[in-house]
Amino acid sequence: MPNTGKSTFFNRLTGSSSRVGNWPGVTVELLSARTILGNDAVEVVDLPGIYDLHGFSDDEQVVRSFLENNVVDQVVMILNASQLEHQLPLALQIYKLGMKPVLLVNMIDEADQLGIRIDAQALSKSLDCPVLPVSARNGTGLKEVRETLIEKLKSSQVLRPSELKAYLHADDELVAQAELLISRHVSSPSHLVRVMTERIDRVLLHPLFGLPLFFLAMFLVFQAVYTLGAPLQDAVAYLLELFRSWALEPLASVLPATLYGFLVDGLYDGIGTVASFVPVIILFFFLMAIIEDSGYLARAAYLTDALMARLGLDGRGFVMLLMGFGCNVPALMGTRVMRSRSLRLLSMLVIPFSLCSARLQVFIFITTALFTPKQAPVILFFMYMASFAAAFLTALLFGRRLKSDEPFVLELPPYRSPVLFQVLMRGWHEISHFLRRASTFIITGVVLVWWLTHYPEGATPGGEGTYASMLGAWLRPVLEPIGISAVMSVVLLFGFVAKEIVIGAIVAMTGLQGAALNSYLATQMDAVQAISFMLFILLYTPCLSTLATQLNESRSWQFATVSLAWSLGLAWIVSFGFYQGARLLGY
């Protein structure tokens, strides 16, 4: 089931870096990795967390379809040790299909703290399948799991029914059998008390102070990113400049001037400037991973459920918005856990307004260049609030047409001290995602921008007569009313492909970096124009990957077109209102 530590175990077993989080529904697609068990190379597939095999939600249909259409050697099922009475019926569903699973009773350390005692051997005998207590977070019991899997794979024969639904047993029968097994083999206190969790929740889930405390925590994260990240960013930029002057320039000096300018001033400077933000992004996700791993983000879903319900969403919608902080794509795919199509579509409309890591790079770049160290965190926090406001407004307007009565049930996980291994894996997951995109979108974008700003032949690089200046002139009537100059308007076109390109595009267009680039930006935009530009970047359109995912998940060109048109229109209206309003007030 969701939030049982399945992805954490997957990472432990395979050494993979699948995303994990202390809330339900993190696994949103089929993840696989290869590992060695005994003398065999084994492919391990991490399926989405589900509540049963009937196939009401898309995720449940995915799991059932996988089991129907693939020959598997062994099914491993993860159960939460402190919630066996709720989770055992799903294990019995698998068992009744003839797929004798290996049952891993996870989070056994938390169960021990709660006074829950599980007789794993007796339960294993009753079920006629292995039952192993483990703690995936700490690695406890992993050796025994590997040994068991090696033995099971030697003789395992799993049935593959062509239509699982025909073999599913009645839910009442499975629940009754699960209750009987629990009564025989599990003992627990009559009242489970998580003393520390309850004490913390009295404060963090307070009806008046809960949400302000959450947003305060997020503001402190941004403050820490600037305070701790600036020296790291400067250090990386220094090393890149050192490599440029000591190695790259001497080696490239023998090249023709045009090729030298392309490689050094265009490609290297563009990618190097983007790369200097990698430590800041790592730090941001390191801090976010601590908050996630602690269980606090699940509380954010609980706190916002009443508000989201008024907008036609529920707490899961807020969780998906938070997932979008990393990347909008997995957040969109996470809507598969919702059974109502209307709820899914509404959630997919609001998720692209999440301030993803790509937009974060752009905003850190601009705020660092144009605002003081005290102003910058406030501006960034304002952008996050604008992100939420745009999402809430979208839900409010479209929720009237996309109504849903699907109930929302959220079981709050206990607070957990973050595990360094998991936090580092999350950081690596995000930065590896960034580097994969850097190898395609960013390089392609920087090359194309350099070409636009240096051609046709005879045009002054970066000046009038280039293809870039022609594009800027064409966009001027639309973007000038919101304070965006011709130069910056060209950058927006490349941001449509991927927001990471924006920084590299600015460097490629100007041929500047460091303090010189900051001074140039100051000539292109003042504080009001900078905020207007960032608001437009935040809202105007998600990247191509997000649009493709929207289309794939919604299976509707009409929906994807409406979403794109709405984001473009909203971006222009918001930026226009802010820019013109600020100018009327004399700023």
For residue range 493-530, what is the model confidence (pLDDT) as tens digits?
A: 778 777 877 887 787 777 777 788 888 888 889 999 99
Given a cut of 50, whether residue 22 has pLDDT beyond it is: no
Helix 296-310 crosses helix 278-294 at what angle (to 10 degrees)? 80
Dihedral Cα 579, 584, 586, 587, nearest 10 deg: -10
Cis bond before residue 101 (omega within 30° of 0): no
Give me the amino acid identity at 374. Answer: K
Three-state SS at 290: helix
**Higher-pLDDT residue of 207, 333:** 207
Residue with the two structure tokens 């920084």: 503
For residue 49, give the nearest of 73, 30, 74, 71 by alpha carbon.
30
Kind and range of the H or E run holding 77: strand 76-80
Intervals of CATH 3.40.50.300 along the chain: 6-193
Q: What angle do CA 45, 49, 54 make, to 5 degrees?
A: 105
Q: What is the mean pLDDT of residues 173-197?
A: 82
**Amino acid, single-letter form, for residue 361:** Q
* Distance from chain centroid for Cα 244: 34
Element (H, E) at 103: strand 102-106
pLDDT computed for residue 566 by the predictor: 96
Tokens of 139: 């690695």
What are phi and psi for residue 407, nearest 5 degrees? Answer: -70, 150
Q: Band of the pLDDT at 558, cuts 50, 70, 90? A: very high
How confident is residue 75, by pLDDT bands cut at 50, 70 and 90?
very high
User: Alpha carbon of 431 to those of 26, 80, 277, 285, 445: distances in Å?
Assistant: 18, 30, 11, 9, 19
pTM, two decimals, is 0.68
Question: pLDDT tier at 270 (50, 70, 90 boundaries)?
Answer: confident
How far is Cα 485 from Cα 471, in angstroms, rounded to an integer?
12
Report, at the CATH architecture level, how domain 6-193 is classified: 3-Layer(aba) Sandwich (3.40)
- Indicate the pairing of strand 102-106 with strand 117-118: unpaired
Least confident of 20-24, 37-41, 278-282, 500-504: 20-24
Compute the distance between CA of residue 287 and CA of residue 383 in angstroms, rounded to an integer: 18
Chain centroid to Cα 451, Å, comes to 33
Q: Region 61-89: what's the mean pLDDT? A: 87
Provide the sign of the torsion angle of the four alpha carbons 341, 342, 345, 346, taken in this order.
negative
Classify burial at 202, counting beta carbons within 10 Å of its beta carbon; exposed 0-12, middle 13-18, buried 19 or more: exposed
The sign of the CA dihedral 425, 430, 431, 437 is positive
Q: Which two tokens stand for residue 303?
A: 């706190």
For residues 51 and 3, the answer to whether their CB atoms sit within 8 Å is no
Distance between start and end Cα atoms, the chain: 54
State yes or no: pLDDT of 293 exceeds 80: no
pLDDT at 23: 45
Higher pLDDT, 387 or 404: 387
At 320, list the tokens.
């998906």
Exposed e or buried b per residue across 446-465, where buried means at least 16 C-beta atoms within 10 angstroms of its C-beta = bbbbbebbbeeeebebbeee
Distance CA 302, CA 308 (A): 10
Whole-number average pLDDT of the chain: 83
